[in-house]
Structure 1
Amino acid sequence: MLKQIVAFCQKHRLFSYNDHILLACSGGPDSLCMVHIFIRLAAAYNLTVSVAHVEHGIRGRASVQDAAFVKDFCQKNNLPFYLKKVNAISYAEKNKLSVEAAARILRYSFLQQTATVLHCTSIAIAHHRGDQAETILMHMIRGAGTKGLSGINPRTNNIIRPLLNCTRSQIKSYCSQYNLVFRTDTTNYDTNYTRNSIRLKLLPFLHKYNPNIEETLCRTASLIAEENDFITTYADDVYKSIVIKKNNRLLLPLPEFTKQHIAIKRQTLRAAISDLCNNTIDIENIHIDNILSLAAKAKTGSSLNLPHNIIVIIEYNNLVLTIAEKSSQKMEIEPISINTAGTTTLPFLLGSISAITVNSYEGQKDRRLCYIDTDKICGKLIIRSRKNGDFFYPKGLNGRKKIKNLLIDNKIPREQRSKIPLLCDQKGIIWVVGIQQDQRYFPQSSSTNIIQLTLNTQNSK
């Protein structure tokens, strides 16, 4: 069995010479076997090994005895031992979790903290082939994609699972061979827990159809994992090649996105969400399906909301993912007066507008410039956000046009339209700043009083 474990660890590069490995030990047969294995491997590979145990407080006196047992085992074998006592039941109630989920979170949190303090290269968990089979069945029953059906990986970041290729019977035979007396967790026989029910009821039933069901499930998971790895790698390359990042917005061009295979589309979306939020927790297949449906319709302005305040929007030829701003509905420009002989700073880091008197305006077609015959101005000049029904008379066009339609034509995202400054007087809109000005205020050949307004931004040349 030792050779089998070493070969498995070498295949998946689970440890190297001189590593410091933190071993998670509950006191049961699996983890006790793992600790004993690494005691034997330590000298051959110059490993430093430490042991950690979390006393969850779930089983009262039995939990305390488990902790004492592991501590005693470590002392007898000269192993550094680290213990953490937690209240999983209280944590579960406070965070609205199952006790099982709460215990897992607290356990991994302590393991990671301890590994950081000790500068460990990895944390070893005693998952075995039986755990793998149970996990695959759990994911299958609940519904999962290729990632879920891949089961448990031999390595997940700094978590390694050196016994993942070993069976329960092998582990128990090993304990018997080396006279390892282990603790028994009675909750492992409580079929109210889904995993226990699968282990004690479903797997024995499936054995009737396939005596090697655990091996078969693990082999299938391994094949799916290889295919999932290919899909993930390929989709990540696609994502990196097409994504456009602008602040907290990710733009996926629809022409490039929609031509991808459906499997690549799904993984690309998960890559985008992970990029935006650093994880894909709570993102389920139904959410991905909804995004794909939105992208297929490609209706500009349509949107949907996802967990973590993610908003997905169709903007012309782009599928946009962004994080909603809590105050986005209030991001409007309060009316401010324009200095006609100096510079006025705009809100929301939009830049500034400078005003000077000029004699000529011929040949100027820069959108950042606006020329006004001051004799046509009625009252003071102000900057404000757009209002429903706003319209103006665009220079170069006949008739009037709604500001909303102008912004749509210029492909201004919906959530940014309220931030576009409008220069107005008492009669109406003079300039949609940086986009278009009203022809009624533009100087004529007879105009004698002319001002030039210039929009200054970080991107100004």
Structure 2
Amino acid sequence: MKSIEQKVIKFADNYKLLQNGEKILIALSGGPDSIFALYFFEKFSKRFGITLAAAHLNHMLRGKQADRDEEFCKRICAEIGIEYYSEKYDVAVFAKQNKISVEEAARKVRYDFLLRVAKNYRFDKIITAHTMDDNAETVLMNLIKGTGLQGIAGIPVQRDNIIRPVLALTKDEIISYLDNYNIEYRVDKSNKDLKYERNFIRHKILPLIKKNLNPSMEQNIFNSSLVFKKASDSLRKLKDEFLVKFVRFGEEYVIIELSGLQAENESLLGEVLKDIVVNHFKKEFEFKDYIKVESLLEKPVGRKVILTSNLEVLKDRKKIYIYPKQNSHGLHLIDVKAGEVKDITGKKISINFIEKDKVKFENNRDHEFISADELDNNFVIRKWQTGDKFFPLGMKKHKNVSDFLLDEKIPAFIKKDQLVLLNRNQIVWIIGLRIDNRFKITEKTKKVIELWII
């Protein structure tokens, strides 16, 4: 048993997981792994110079059994004199409301709870008792799903303030330790339910691998996952540098400079696309999406592909654009009177009279002021049309709206839906971009109109 304890101590020291004087919160389910973590770190709290507390979330998935788990955790903490926090949350309802699996919902709700407790009560770190078995299951599951290098890097030893020192041990070692010291723990019957992906891998696939191929599979996979983690970190660094140098993020679209996808960076395309789709657009990204974009790069300018998440990718001369798939709005003429707010294609456009002394100019194209001395109260909003002209602010000659949008480098998929504001058949504002010079405010201006995109 001493060797098991030394494994965890050495692991925690090697990775510098715990610092003297820290307050540590242990995620306590009542199962063998978290119970081991509770007893182990209580036993060695003086050695590490830490103070402990535990937090238990009742997922309300297993009725009375879940309630008994909660009571068990509360009793154990009271017996060994450790501060205890708990909460109940209906995970099944949360999963249904957010259209995600119960497994995913439970994980999100659990981590939100732990992070909230840690923040509210000023804990420095959270210990989750993931084991070497959990890591093997995660690596294999991610490999099957095709999640890429980051996925097969396994469960991180530390992520922000969450640490996992029990990754040093297998499940068998933990059970052996608890049984040796007659330490009580709970068994979650749902962990044997094969409808859950992880349980199928745990009970059906991994035992066969251990029996027929490698009895030390967990340790070997863990060692490999550490190597993959270093490779993943290196790749992430290169990807982050690429994003800064060659990617521009707009509110409604993302631009990737094709000059960045030279031979030395070509292998980064998949990671860059995944980062953009998942982190910027909050969508799912699949391997077949990568194949679609890779093939698009070989096609003529103007071609586009649609990703599984309903994002469009358009190839331009020197760039590719990524944006939500657009619907045809069929917008014609919309009449607006001064003093009204109109909701158009998801944007609220406001036109109001304002006192001249209240005008405050700012560097905001969505908020403009114009002279109303030569205007009436009746405005029209429509899409720009071929042949439209206006006098851009600061210019004394007219310019085609088409040329203006080209000079502004407005992407083609946005350009076609650009709105203009008219009064007496004259363009007064290319909405969100530029007012007409003929209607700028001067010292002689008497009436002022404020234009807003809200």
Normalised TM-score (structure 1): 0.73
- CA distance in 2 between counterparts of 1:198 and 1:303 reads 35
Q: 1:74 aligned to 2:77?
A: yes
Q: Where in structure 2 are the equivalents of 1:197-212 lying within 5 Å?
A: 197-207=200-210, 208-212=212-216
Q: Does the 8 A contact of 2:17 with 2:163 survive in 1?
A: yes
- CA distance in 1 between counterparts of 2:98 and 2:438 reads 60
Match of 1:92 in 2: 95
Q: Where in structure 2 are the equivalents of 1:42-121 lying within 5 Å?
A: 42-121=45-124
Q: Which amino acid aligns with 2:158?
A: R
Q: Secondary structure at the match of 2:321?
A: strand
Q: 1:251 aligned to 2:268?
A: no
1:332-375 CA distance string (max 9 Å, x none): 99999xxxxxx9x9x9637567799xxxxxxxxxxxxxxxxxxx
- CA distance in 2 between counterparts of 1:151 and 1:233 reads 18
Inter-CA distance 122–323: structure 2 relative to 1 (3 Å threshold): farther
- The CA deviation at 1:14 is 2.1
- The CA deviation at 1:287 is 3.3
- The CA deviation at 1:432 is 9.3
- CA distance in 1 between counterparts of 2:99 and 2:5 reads 42
2:387 to 378, 388, 391: 391
Higher mean alpha-carbon deviation, 18-27 vs 212-221, is at 212-221
Q: Secondary structure at the match of 1:137?
A: helix
Q: Does the 8 A contact of 1:332 with 1:419 survive in 2?
A: no
Q: Where in structure 2 are the equivalents of 1:19-418 lying within 5 Å?
A: 19-207=22-210, 208-245=212-249, 249-273=253-277, 276-277=280-281, 282-297=284-299, 299-300=301-302, 302=304, 304=306, 307=309, 312-321=313-322, 329=345, 349=366, 351=368, 390-391=386-387, 407=405, 411-413=409-411, 414-416=413-415, 418=417
- The CA deviation at 1:331 is 6.5
- CA distance in 2 between counterparts of 1:14 and 1:422 reads 60
1:132-159 CA distance string (max 9 Å, x none): 1111121222222111111111112222
Q: Secondary structure at the match of 1:391?
A: coil
Q: Does the 8 A contact of 1:154 with 1:161 survive in 2?
A: yes
- CA distance in 2 between counterparts of 1:96 and 1:248 reads 25
- CA distance in 2 between counterparts of 1:106 and 1:432 reads 46
Q: Does the 8 A contact of 1:115 with 1:123 survive in 2?
A: yes
Q: Which amino acid aligns with 2:198?
A: R
Q: Work out the number of aligned pairs and report it.
A: 407
Inter-CA distance 263–10: structure 2 relative to 1 (3 Å threshold): farther
- CA distance in 2 between counterparts of 1:39 and 1:387 reads 69
Q: Secondary structure at the match of 2:126?
A: strand
Match of 2:334 in 1: none
Q: Does the 8 A contact of 2:149 with 2:228 survive in 1?
A: yes
Q: Does the 8 A contact of 1:331 with 1:418 survive in 2?
A: no
- CA distance in 2 between counterparts of 1:101 and 1:95 reads 10
Inter-CA distance 54–330: structure 2 relative to 1 (3 Å threshold): closer
- CA distance in 2 between counterparts of 1:252 and 1:127 reads 38
Q: Does the 8 A contact of 1:30 with 1:126 survive in 2?
A: yes
Inter-CA distance 62–419: structure 2 relative to 1 (3 Å threshold): closer
Q: Which amino acid aligns with 2:209?
A: L
- CA distance in 1 between counterparts of 2:179 and 2:348 reads 73
Q: Which amino acid aligns with 2:57?
A: V
Q: Does the 8 A contact of 2:286 with 2:308 survive in 1?
A: no
Q: Which amino acid aligns with 2:181?
A: Y
Gaps of 5+ in 1: 337-342, 357-379, 395-400, 438-450, 457-461
Match of 2:355 in 1: none
Q: Does the 8 A contact of 2:255 with 2:320 survive in 1?
A: yes
Q: Which amino acid aligns with 1:391?
A: G
- CA distance in 1 between counterparts of 2:304 and 2:52 reads 56
Q: Does the 8 A contact of 1:74 with 1:81 survive in 2?
A: yes
Inter-CA distance 288–455: structure 2 relative to 1 (3 Å threshold): farther
- The CA deviation at 1:411 is 4.0
- CA distance in 1 between counterparts of 2:133 and 2:204 reads 13
Q: Secondary structure at the match of 1:251?
A: strand
1:204-250 CA distance string (max 9 Å, x none): 21121222222222222222221111111111112212233556654
Gaps of 5+ in 2: 328-342, 353-358, 391-398, 443-454
Higher mean alpha-carbon deviation, 176-185 vs 321-330, is at 321-330
Normalised TM-score (structure 2): 0.74
Q: Secondary structure at the match of 1:58?
A: coil
- The CA deviation at 1:198 is 1.5
Q: Does the 8 A contact of 2:422 with 2:429 survive in 1?
A: yes
- CA distance in 2 between counterparts of 1:157 and 1:110 reads 16
- CA distance in 1 between counterparts of 2:417 and 2:280 reads 24
- CA distance in 2 between counterparts of 1:294 and 1:328 reads 33
